């Protein structure tokens, strides 16, 4: 990877602008031609969402679309429900990969859209609404739009394009494996179709059609946090005869707020510690034995990541001990930092600028996490954000990603199609067949 960055990377940096211009007009025309089909696909995926590792009908629709387009290879059941399509161009050349994620979230939709999800599913033992509240419906539709564009240009493509439709980006349920990590373990990037670069995008509530990116660390690492506070159960009228884990848990929650704000040098890199659930007891007049809390730890620096883990353990245990309780802290490593190869990112910046009509720019790190990080750790990668906010003057209620009001403006889809198609074609042509 280092050798790539110093050699081929500089070639890309100087050649990419000229190569991008060669494809711009044709890609823009083909994208406009397929606009209505891409919108229809996005609405279908949105209306019929499926949870992680359960994307059965989603995968069938994706595979059918690729086969109908005449892809050379279409593999199903990759990492449970993933789909991988191989499109071979008419000219020799290397392999480039494009990725979209497929899974939805256990969120009941409140957008009021005519194609809003009414789906429900069982999640952690409870029946819940299911919604594409993070825009994966748009990601799939955009990538299928790219497939339509590149099939039209197939004879002129100097290489091969791998289309990755990945399940379980939001994390597999329970003890299951899944996502990009499992796809790689099953050999996604092994053999003759190993790509030399991988590109992907994620929609965000920024100005419609804008593109946000960053070289190096773009999105945070995300680690699972679980804290179990153990006390001694007793009658609610006699707290002195036991140890109250609820009061101790409150101390833990308050104390954890100081880990980032008072114990870490956040001028070095941002970090976020969040507790998202807290559960304890089943009756108002009983002090329970235990309280369980879960959350996430978001970091951008590998050294800080480990230090924060240790400080969380020390802080939680000390806080619980002030009331005589014991805290058990479990931290499981999750997605690593999503790193954009800096030379690849600089060399492709002109493509992003063109696709967004001048609305592309470098932004601060995003504290959300992405398992695209596994792919970009394997080969040089570039992951960027696409703005999908409502048009100016549209006063509808919208929310950020994972909100029941999350909204995707269909007018942004063409920008995503142009960007990914342009990146793939520019990289293939600039890289050349000698590196295949």
- Catalytic positions are 103, 169
CA angle in degrees (0–180, nearest 5) for 385-388-390: 155
Distance CA 48, CA 104 (A): 9
Q: Are 243 and 416 in contact (CB under 8 A)?
A: no
Residue among 7, 9, 27 nearest 425 (CA): 27
Q: Which two tokens stand for residue 230?
A: 């153990």
Residue among 406, 362, 303, 292 nearest 49 (CA): 406
Contacts of 106 (CB under 8 A, 6+ apart): 51, 121, 123, 124, 128, 129, 130
Which burial class, exposed, middle or buried, applies to 72 when counting CB atoms under 10 A from its CB (0-12, 13-18, 19+)? exposed
Q: Are 300 and 267 in contact (CB under 8 A)?
A: no
**DSSP of 187-229, one letter per residue?**
TTT-STT--SEEEEEEEESSSTT-EEE-SEEEE-EEEEEEEEE
Residue among 349, 381, 101, 340 nearest 219 (CA): 340
Q: Which two tokens stand for residue 160?
A: 């091969």
- DSSP 8-state class, residue 406: B
SS3 content of the chain, % helix, strand, coil (to 5): 40, 25, 35
- DSSP 8-state class, residue 370: -
Q: Which two tokens stand for residue 26?
A: 């044709």
Residue among 64, 68, 69 nearest 83 (CA): 64
Distance CA 279, CA 392 (A): 42
């Amino acid at each position: 990877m280092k050798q790539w960055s110093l050699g081929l990377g500089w070639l890309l940096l100087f050649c990419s602008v000229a190569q991008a211009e060669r494809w711009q007009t044709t890609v823009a025309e083909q994208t406009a031609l397929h606009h209505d089909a891409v919108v229809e696909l996005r609405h279908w995926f949105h209306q019929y969402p499926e949870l992680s590792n359960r994307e059965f009908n989603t995968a069938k629709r994706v595979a059918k679309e690729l086969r109908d387009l005449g892809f050379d290879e279409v593999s199903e059941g990759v990492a449970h429900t993933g789909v991988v399509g191989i499109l071979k161009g008419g000219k020799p050349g290397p392999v480039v990969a494009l990725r979209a994620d497929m899974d939805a979230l256990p969120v009941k939709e409140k957008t009021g859209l005519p194609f809003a999800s009414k789906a429900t599913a069982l999640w952690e033992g409870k029946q819940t609404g299911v919604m594409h509240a993070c825009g994966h419906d748009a990601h799939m539709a955009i990538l299928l739009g790219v497939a339509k564009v590149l099939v039209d240009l197939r004879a002129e493509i100097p290489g091969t394009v791998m289309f990755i439709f990945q399940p379980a980006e939001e994390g597999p349920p329970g003890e299951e494996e899944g996502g990009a990590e499992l796809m790689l373990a099953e050999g996604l990037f092994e053999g003759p179709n190993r790509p030399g670069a991988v590109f992907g995008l994620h929609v965000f509530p920024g100005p419609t059609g804008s593109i946000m990116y960053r070289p190096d660390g773009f999105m945070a690492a995300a680690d699972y946090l679980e804290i179990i506070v153990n006390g001694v159960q007793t009658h609610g009228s006699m707290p002195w005869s036991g140890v109250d884990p609820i009061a101790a848990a409150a101390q833990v929650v308050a104390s954890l707020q100081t880990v980032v704000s008072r114990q870490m040098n956040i001028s070095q890199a941002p970090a976020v510690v969040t507790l998202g659930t807290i559960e304890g007891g089943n009756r108002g007049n009983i002090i329970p034995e235990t309280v369980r809390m879960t959350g996430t730890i978001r970091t951008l620096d590998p050294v800080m990541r480990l230090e924060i883990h240790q400080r969380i353990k020390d802080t939680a245990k000390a806080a619980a001990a002030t009331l005589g309780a014991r805290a058990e802290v479990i931290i499981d490593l999750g997605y690593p930092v999503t790193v954009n190869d800096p030379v690849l990112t600089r060399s492709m910046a002109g493509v992003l600028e063109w696709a967004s009509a001048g609305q592309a720019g470098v932004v601060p790190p995003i504290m959300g996490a992405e398992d695209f990080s596994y792919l970009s750790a394997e080969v040089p990668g570039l992951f960027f954000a696409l703005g999908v906010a409502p048009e100016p003057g549209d006063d509808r209620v919208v929310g950020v990603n994972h909100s029941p009001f999350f909204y995707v403006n269909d007018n942004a889809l063409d920008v995503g199609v142009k960007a990914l198609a342009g990146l793939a074609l520019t990289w293939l042509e600039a890289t050349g067949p000698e590196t295949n």
